Amino acid sequence: MTDAEFIKLLKTDGEKAIEFLFREHYDYLCRTVYRVLPKPAIIEDLVQDVFFELWRKHETLNITTSIKAYLRRAAVNKTL
């Protein structure tokens, strides 16, 4: 799925879009957070918070970068 297709899906079927993103990027985001904060006990909570915030804002979200870059930045920001 391209980023443009995903953005369209996010607006029309947020649940399906978030589920897709979770399956595709969860492991990557956990590894990213681990590099910033190597505390395995809280990594999954931080990454889940990123997906929760994405779900909460999915109707008004305007992503102008790639989805992967957006999620990475959101995970790093949440970790810091």
How much is the pLDDT for 6? Answer: 85
Q: Give pLDDT tens digits for 21-80.
A: 999 999 999 999 999 999 998 999 999 999 999 999 888 888 888 999 999 999 999 999
Which of 61, 41, 64 has its CA nearest to residue 51? 61
Residue 5 has pLDDT above 90, yes or no: no
Q: What is the pLDDT of residue 34?
A: 97
End-to-end CA distance of the chain: 30
Is the separation of the CB atoms in 75 and 46 below 8 Å?
Answer: yes
Q: How many CB atoms lie within 10 A of CB 4?
A: 9
